[in-house]
Amino acid sequence: MSLRITEECINCDVCEPECPNGAISLGEDTYVINPDLCTECVGHFETSQCVSVCPVECIISDPDNVESKDQLMLKYRALTGKAA
Question: What confidence score (pLDDT) does residue 84 get?
Answer: 60
Question: What confidence score (pLDDT) does residue 82 get?
Answer: 81
Question: What confidence score (pLDDT) does residue 44 get?
Answer: 95
Q: What are phi and psi of 9, to 5 degrees?
A: -55, 135
Domains in the chain, number: 1
Single out the residue of 58, 57, 52 nearest to residue 32, CA to CA: 58
Predicted confidence (pLDDT) at residue 32 exceeds the cutoff of 70: yes
To the nearest whole percent, how much of the chain has pLDDT over 90? 93
State the residue range of the domain holding 37. Answer: 3-80
pTM across the whole model: 0.91
- How many whole angstroms separate alpha carbon 12 and alpha carbon 26? 11
- Report the CATH number that the domain containing residue 13 is assigned in CATH: 3.30.70.20
Predicted confidence (pLDDT) at residue 62 exceeds the cutoff of 90: yes
Predicted confidence (pLDDT) at residue 53 exceeds the cutoff of 90: yes
Predicted confidence (pLDDT) at residue 1 exceeds the cutoff of 80: no
Contact 62, 4 (CB under 8 A): yes
